[in-house]
Structure 1
Amino acid sequence: MELLEGEVHAGPPADGAHAEIVSELCGQIHDHQEDPLLRTYTGVGLVLSGLTADGLSMPGRAIPDLVIAPKGSFADELEFHDPAPVLLVAEVTSRSTGANDRGKKIRGYARAGIPVYLLIDREADQAVLFTGPVGEEYRRKESYKLSETVPLPAPLGFELDTGAF
């Protein structure tokens, strides 16, 4: 279960195509990863609390499809973790999660200061790279068709092949 902008969200398990895309993402990151201290995680809960544009406290808890962070960042027994060490989160849309992935999670990840949010939007047939969080939004948003390569910023620094999705 996730808590997004004060609302509890629970949905069915993702479909097989969703799992294949997450697996492909993990594989490509592993194949191109040059920093031995970075790890790719799935199923990690993150605390997304932060302030809204109006200065109100906004509670949040999310479980991204994929998280990249330094080794040992989640070596405790907490269910939801401080997002400070997170370098990138990725979400792959599903029918039941797409609206949140395109809205509430953008704001939540930005509020949490997560530097890069990669959204694989299956319904729109595109990958969207959000970078430079400021408040509840990201300064930059770059969209790519799911047949193009996506230039991932440092410390990943490689071209993600979305044609494999």
Structure 2
Amino acid sequence: MTAVHRDPALASEDGPIFTTEFESIARAVERETEGVQVELIGGRLGVKRVPDGDHGRILNWLLLLLLPLNPELFLHVIGQGLAVGSCRKGRARPDGILAPPDSFAGAGEWASPDAVVMAVEVTSHDSDTNQRDRIEKPLAYAQAGIPIYLLIDREAGKIVVHSQPDEDGYQDLHRYPFGSAVSLPKPVSITFDTESLKDMGD
């Protein structure tokens, strides 16, 4: 019998896992459990639960804010999956994806991140948000070559702009308190006000 070798980079707490195995697990879990999405980030299985109302409100605010500033880009907030991480073996569902409007037409459940100019996450009130949103996802998005990662950190009351991605993560980070003007570098190249975030929950 031929031995099957699994990529050690995909090891989870229960042992190594194939990306294809994860995709089967994700389909089954998401089909049977309403409001739950499953991700594979840094070889670790993670669960994204139903967000609270302020979480959705923040994403809607960002969508409406960005649209007139750059009409060639659209903030997709539909739970589109992306192939991320080293060699794109991870699987993530960003809260928002800034990309041209038709980027994911016919792309399937786990799309290439090539057209993505910015991934957006809004922190959730769960025990996993620190590991997931502040540590694992910045690395996975950088390794996938996504130019900007925008983290709206409700607990810290800050927006964190990550840019200049490489295999070791994002090399440039800027933190902006809620209420200040936030500048997004190329290829987005816009500045916007965040005063409204002060009233959108913590």
- Fold conserved (TM > 0.5)? yes
Structure number with the higher strand fraction is 1
SS at match of 2:57: helix
In the other structure, the counterpart of 1:47 is: 83
Q: Counterparts of 2:41 and 2:62 in 1: how far apart (Å)?
A: 24
Superposition CA RMSD, Å? 1.6
Q: Which has the higher contact order (CA 8 A, sep 6+)?
A: 1
Contiguous gaps of at least 5 residues in structure 1: 52-57
In the other structure, the counterpart of 1:54 is: none
Task: Give percent identity, aligned residues only.
Answer: 36
Structure 2 residue 99 is the aligned partner of structure 1 residue 69:
yes
Structure 2 residue 179 is the aligned partner of structure 1 residue 147:
yes
Q: Counterparts of 2:182 and 2:173 in 1: how far apart (Å)?
A: 12
Contiguous gaps of at least 5 residues in structure 2: 1-37, 198-202
Work out the number of aligned pairs and report it: 157
Summarize the Cα distance change of 1:125–1:61 in structure 2 as closer, same or farther, 3 Å threshold: same
Structure 2 residue 129 is the aligned partner of structure 1 residue 98:
yes
Q: How far has the Cα of 1:77 moved from its partner?
A: 5.0
TM-score (norm 1): 0.88
Would you say the 8 A contact 2:148–2:161 is kept in 1?
yes
Q: Counterparts of 1:49 and 1:152 in 2: how far apart (Å)?
A: 22
Q: How far has the Cα of 1:153 moved from its partner?
A: 2.1
In the other structure, the counterpart of 2:60 is: 23
Would you say the 8 A contact 1:108–1:136 is kept in 2?
no
Which digits, 9 at most, give the CA deviation of each residue in 1:115-147, with x for residues without a partner?
A: 000100001110000000011311100000011
Structure number with the higher helix fraction is 2
Q: Which amino acid aligns with 1:5?
A: G
Would you say the 8 A contact 1:32–1:156 is kept in 2?
no
Greater gyration radius: 2
TM-score (norm 2): 0.73
